[in-house]
Structure 1
Amino acid sequence: MAQGPLAKKFKGSVNKRIINKSKSNSNNSSSHGLGPKKGARSIAPKKQSLIKQKKMHKKLTAAINKNIEQVIASRAEAVDGGQKFSIIKLNSDKDTDKS
């Protein structure tokens, strides 16, 4: 049995509530989408010392990678018989036109 007085039915108001609920549910579910999100799953550090460490680590990694590329280029140049060895990037059109 109902605990309180029965609600009076008004024409049109029930239909509006049903329509509004269905619209809000469809908007929320479609914006989130199904499946996993793209991108890296890392939480950014909030402490200044951790931020500095992360920055330094990134710079060191870039420097090491650059050094490795230079060493490999020099070895390839030596094997090639002294010809100029250049790394061609696929993104730029200028480098591909010259070679």
Structure 2
Amino acid sequence: MFKQKLNIDQVKLAKWFSPYGNVDVKAYGQNKALVATSNHYCAKDILRAFKQHNTIYVTYYSVWKHSPVARGLLWTGVLLSGSACVVALLTGDKKT
């Protein structure tokens, strides 16, 4: 995932990253883009080269971190299982 302070320019990103290998750039909103690389080495080279870049932030894509749907499913599961535990504790047999 790549963040830029200004609007994303897909062509500019593709030109910056193309020396490291084949890349596909897709903008997500005004300040995010998903860049697909041709292989793992290309991604590692981009991460290393842009680690200290002053305009953009580069990181590996994580479904749980970057996908709103996956994050929503994760939190729904946490809330449902937590609620089930609380209900089980409150309605359980009380032996004294």
- TM > 0.5: no
Structure number with higher strand proportion: 2
Scaled by the length of structure 1, the TM-score of the pair is 0.30
Structure number with higher helix proportion: 1
Structure with more relative contact order (C-alpha pairs < 8 Å, separation 6 or more):
2
